[in-house]
Amino acid sequence: MRIALYEPEIAGNVGAVLRLGACLGVPVDLIEPLGFVWDDARVRRSAMDYIDHVSVTRHRDWDAFRASIGGARLVLLTTKASSSAYDFAFLPGDVLLFGKESAGVPAHVHEACGGRIRLPMRAETRSMNLAMSAGLTLGEALRQTGGLPQ
């Protein structure tokens, strides 16, 4: 299982997701362009020393990322989906894809995904924080597939 962030815009969110990946043993893919300078101290501040314990791969664009994952199933987290992450059947090789904070993903990325799911939330709210969404989704996916660390 992997986490992929499509053109993330906020260094603090990326740092928190890197820490999540380190703690749960899941690699993180960053699909550029990023909305911040990579050497930004905020990434290291959020990830802390956990950044040394996670495999991070940066991809120059969507096409480079797609070429790198082979036939792995892409599972997109989107507020536009009707299926809940808690009703979805995850597979150990899934790539959990999260869109940019301000706009999600474009239509061609949406269409490339083999699964589209959402996190249930109250109707009067728009969306959850990117890192929070990644944590909830990854936790459920690893629970289902027996991939949680002991």
**DSSP result, 59-105:** ESSHHHHHHHSTTPPEEEE-TT--SBTTTS---TT-EEEE-BTTTB-
Amino acid at 82: S
Residues 85 and 140: beta-carbon distance below 8 Å: yes
Write out pLDDT tens, residues 13-30: 999 999 999 999 999 999
Write out pLDDT tens, residues 27-82: 999 999 999 888 767 676 776 778 889 999 999 999 999 999 999 999 999 999 99
Instruction: Dig out the tokens for 38 from the structure.
Output: 């990579």
pTM value is 0.95
Would you state the pLDDT for residue 136? 98
Which residues are CB-neighbours of 55 under 8 A, at least 6 positions away?
21, 27, 28
Query: What domains appear along the chain, each with residue ranges and CATH number?
Result: 2-145 (3.40.1280.10)
Write out pLDDT tens, residues 118-140: 999 999 998 889 999 999 999 99
Determine the Cα–Cα distance for residues 101 and 88; give it in Å rounded to an integer: 23
